[in-house]
Structure 1
Amino acid sequence: MSRVLEGKLAIVTGSSRGIGAAIAENLASKGSNVILNYTSASSASLASNLAKSLETQHGIRTSVVQADIGTPEGSARVIEAAKAAFASGDKPLQIDIIVNNAGVALNAWLPDIKLADFQETYRVNVLGPLLLVQAAQPYLPLDRSGRIVNLSSVSSSTGFVTQTVYGGSKAALEAMTRTWARELAERATVNAINPGPVEGPMYAANPAEVKDSIRGWIQHTPLMAARPGVDSDEAVQAARDGGGRPATTKEIAGIVGMLCTPDAAWCTGQVVCANGGMVMLH
């Protein structure tokens, strides 16, 4: 694979596992150094092991930082870690790529939504990316070569049941994406992607009634049709149970990686499909 991101520096939030880890792997395979971020102490060993793996397999440099980006202190800690690992007296810090991947989904039917769940969802999914981009802005490139990718969701536009709060938070993130694309135009492109169901615990945790409610969407999503003998046995079984297979984390990471390359320089302010065709927008 061409190392089109050779020597660049990427921050990937929530990157100890799942989609975040796959994004870090994709960027590292293209030559980018990576700052891996996680929040919970239980993720420390996962992040450390991933860092070692990326360095060994791809010959890049990593830094691992535990920080809650939904607080000013946490976002500042990520930038300080970047300075400590990648800046020196004659080489100022430059942050080339930011992937706002960290997020939470605290789903509930309308009568059951709790104030604390609303506040936590917006703190992590909306305030977190805002604080990190604020903290990183002075270190973005000055030649439009920077890349910011925000992970939204099809839930921002589909109205899935139980996702009043989660869908709303992702719609807010998309609105911020468009504003940042204008405000940061001389520094970086800013785009979002909108995955649908993706393999992993977040999708698996949905109750059966919620999965049943989106079955029709899945059955009409072009790329979710499972292919026995091509897709994994798990994906084929998931298709039988849910109407179609979820995306793999690598498939989502591939779209993020594409948006981070020089070839994506003429794309900004967009919500780019990462859902197999579940949502088709003009």
Structure 2
Amino acid sequence: MSRPLEGKLGIVTGASRGIGAAIAENLASKGCNLVINYTSSSSTEPSAEFAKKLSSTYNIRAVPIQADIGTPTGGRDLIASAREHFTAANRFQIDILINNAGIARNALLPEVTVEDFESTYRVNVLGPLLVVQAAQPYLPTDRSGRIVNISSVSSSTGFVTQSVYGGTKAAVEAMTRTWARELAENATVNAVNPGPVEGPMYKTNTPEFLEGIHGWVLHTPLMKVREGVDPEDVVKDAKESGGRPAWTKEVAGIVGMLWWEEAGWCTGQVVCANGGMVMLH
């Protein structure tokens, strides 16, 4: 099995489940050592089990680290803990950083609260900024580093009820372009923009929200279900939803394209990871 990331260190925020977990496994399968970041104490045991599984399956070192990146000290605490676990011969380097952790609080404009705004921007925007700030001194100095920020189609689709969430993802994309310039000697910096993806966040969407995106789903080329290929329950559900969501491993595969050495000439970009729901120029 090819292990192009042998000996490298990757940090994935929000890695205990969903897209983050799929990205972590993709990295591990390439030989990358990992920090599995999670926020809630309820995720302590699952994260430890996940890290153990990755370590034994892929013969890498995976360490779960609890840190709430939505707090002023969360990013600094995460990087400090990573240093404690992965410093060897007085050397600590972060080769790959995936800013995946995020939350969504959907509401129509009259119902948006200040608390919704502040909480979502703290996790989705301030969090990645402070993580990258804390990580910067430990990035490579030969352009070999890779930073990938998880955005969303919501940054450009104007979905109803996503004044706040869509705004945070647009901010992530703006920061991606700035960091691509500021960190050019350290790492490429790109974003990927998933659409609907299987998992707990997608399942929390209201019927009203799903109705609102129905037209988008119908016109997304790769969300069309295939009988005999896709699971029967997905085919059945698509009769109402219009199509299937992405599998987490499919989004992880797009992210995975960006950390190869051959991807070193791509930076400051928003890369499609949504089956063609959004086609950017």
Corresponding position: 1:43 with 2:43: yes
Counterparts of 1:190 and 1:73, CA distance in 2:
23
Once the two structures are superposed, the pairs formed by residues 72-87 of structure 1 within 5 Å of their partners are 72-87=72-87
Measured after TM superposition, the shift of residue 162 of structure 1 is 0.3
Counterparts of 1:29 and 1:116, CA distance in 2:
39
Corresponding position: 1:207 with 2:215: no
Secondary structure of 1:34's counterpart equals: strand
Once the two structures are superposed, the pairs formed by residues 54-203 of structure 1 within 5 Å of their partners are 54-88=54-88, 90-203=89-202
Whether the 8 Å contact between 1:238 and 1:246 is mirrored in structure 2 is no
Report how many aligned residue pairs link the two structures: 281
1:53-81 alpha-carbon deviations (Å, 9 max, x no partner): 10011000011111011223221221122
Q: CA RMSD in A?
A: 0.9
1:30-61 alpha-carbon deviations (Å, 9 max, x no partner): 11001000000111111111101100110000
Letter in 2 for 1:78: L
Letter in 1 for 2:32: S
Counterparts of 2:28 and 2:153, CA distance in 1:
27
Whether the 8 Å contact between 1:14 and 1:38 is mirrored in structure 2 is yes
Q: How high is the sequence identity, in percent, across the aligned residues? A: 68
Whether the 8 Å contact between 1:70 and 1:131 is mirrored in structure 2 is no
Measured after TM superposition, the shift of residue 237 of structure 1 is 2.5
Counterparts of 1:81 and 1:191, CA distance in 2:
25
The alignment's TM-score, normalised by the length of structure 2, stands at 0.98
Letter in 2 for 1:245: R
Q: Closer, same or farther in 2 for the Cα pair 1:235/1:263, shift >3 Å?
A: farther
Measured after TM superposition, the shift of residue 272 of structure 1 is 0.1
The alignment's TM-score, normalised by the length of structure 1, stands at 0.98
Measured after TM superposition, the shift of residue 212 of structure 1 is 0.9
Measured after TM superposition, the shift of residue 233 of structure 1 is 2.2
1:135-163 alpha-carbon deviations (Å, 9 max, x no partner): 00000001000000000000000000000
Structure 2 unpaired stretches of 5+: none
Structure 1 unpaired stretches of 5+: none
Counterparts of 1:66 and 1:82, CA distance in 2:
11
